[in-house]
């Protein structure tokens, strides 16, 4: 199974801050990775697909990068509506695996 | 409006069974692979099962293999998850999700399954 190690597990940041979240895959997954945002009580929403492609309708302050085993989600200027939990998901091989999540909280 | 609507969740005793359904509306269904993903209370997301568009390919999380069965009825725009021999650790919100590999991923709103005596 491919293990997705996501860090940090939580962070505190202020509005306007630049935030970076990392996922490391235990083996090469090419660019078969998506980033998801989840707010309490809601289903997740995909922000980034194929590691670096912005989902339609998602603000351009979100960006993704990486391939192979190292991936990054960046929020260039944190907005109040961005406080949520973020997950990476690899769909390169079964079982599909999520990272452990990063909870972004208000400082 | 594009929607996936899950149903069938509820409270069941350990060892019991439940059948979850996911109905698609306003969305092309037949050509897409489908998945079930769950989230235990206060925990992260966990993929559970996959079924290809034609039902030819099926995969399961190891911990549910042999207990859960995924199926679909394209004529009814629906997928199902038959869950047998349920355990406390199966307690979660269960989401159906359309095709993680496509340009647009669609999630249902989830249905809660509670396994408790």
| Count of helix runs (H) and strand runs (E) in chain A | 0, 11
Kindly report the CA angle at B44 between B66 and A21, in degrees rounded to 5? Answer: 135
Nearest residue on chain A to B112, judged by CA atoms?
Answer: A41
User: How many angstroms away from the CA of A79 is the closest CA of chain B?
Assistant: 23
Contact A101 B44 (CB under 8 A): yes
Name B89's Cβ contacts closer than 8 Å, sequence gap at least 6. B40, B63, B115
Spatial CA neighbour of B34 closest among A30, A96, A31: A96
pLDDT at B30: 85
| Chain B residues inside the 8 Å CB shell of A89 | 45, 47, 100
CA separation for the pair B44, A68 (Å, rounded):
23
Backbone angles phi, psi at B93, to 5 degrees: -85, 130
A89 to A5, A102, B46: CA distances (angstroms): 10, 13, 10
Confidence of residue A106 (pLDDT cuts 50, 70, 90): confident
| Chain B residues inside the 8 Å CB shell of A34 | 100, 105
Those residues of chain A whose CB sits closer than 8 Å to some CB in chain B are 32, 34, 36, 38, 43-46, 49, 56, 87, 89, 91, 94-101
pLDDT at A74: 98
Contact B108 A46 (CB under 8 A): no
Per-residue pLDDT of chain B (117 residues; tens, 9 = 90+): 789 999 999 999 999 999 999 999 887 778 899 999 999 999 999 999 999 999 999 999 999 999 999 999 999 999 999 999 999 999 999 999 999 999 999 999 999 999 999
| Chain B residues inside the 8 Å CB shell of A97 | 47
Q: Considering CB atoms only, which of A32, A36, A97 is closest to B47? A: A97
Name A104's Cβ contacts closer than 8 Å, sequence gap at least 6. A10, A11, A13, A19, A75, A78, A82, A83, A84, A85, A86
**pLDDT tens-digit map of A6-43:** 999 999 999 999 999 999 999 999 999 999 999 999 99
User: How many angstroms away from the CA of B27 is the closest CA of chain A?
Assistant: 17
Return the half-sphere exposure (C-beta side, CA atoms, 13 A cut-off) of residue A20.
Answer: 6
| Chain A residues inside the 8 Å CB shell of B105 | 34, 46, 49
Confidence of residue A1 (pLDDT cuts 50, 70, 90): very high
Contact B46 A89 (CB under 8 A): no
In the 8-state DSSP scheme, what is residue B65?
A: B
CA separation for the pair A8, B65 (Å, rounded):
31
**pLDDT tens-digit map of A54-99:** 999 999 999 999 999 999 999 999 999 999 999 999 999 999 999 9
């Amino acid at each position: 199974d491919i293990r997705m190690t996501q860090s940090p597990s939580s962070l505190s940041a202020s509005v306007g801050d630049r935030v970076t979240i990392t996922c490391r895959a235990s083996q090469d997954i090419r660019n078969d990775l998506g980033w998801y945002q989840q707010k309490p009580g809601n289903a997740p929403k995909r922000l980034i697909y194929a590691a670096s492609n912005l989902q339609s309708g998602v603000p351009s302050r979100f960006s993704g990068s990486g391939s192979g085993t190292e991936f990054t989600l960046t929020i260039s200027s944190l907005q109040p509506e961005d406080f949520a939990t973020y997950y990476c998901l690899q769909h390169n091989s079964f079982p599909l695996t999520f990272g452990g999540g990063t909870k972004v909280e208000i400082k | 409006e594009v929607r996936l609507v899950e149903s069938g969740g509820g409270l069941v005793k350990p060892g019991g069974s439940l059948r979850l359904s996911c109905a698609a509306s306003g969305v092309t269904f037949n050509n897409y692979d489908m998945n079930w993903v769950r989230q235990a209370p206060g925990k992260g997301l966990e993929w559970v099962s996959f079924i290809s568009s034609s039902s030819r390919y099926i995969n399961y999380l190891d911990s549910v293999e042999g207990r859960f069965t995924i199926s679909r009825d394209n004529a009814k725009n629906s997928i199902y998850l038959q869950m047998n021999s349920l355990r406390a650790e199966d307690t979660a919100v269960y989401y159906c999700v359309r095709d993680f590999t496509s340009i647009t991923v669609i999630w249902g709103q989830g249905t809660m399954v509670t396994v408790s005596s």
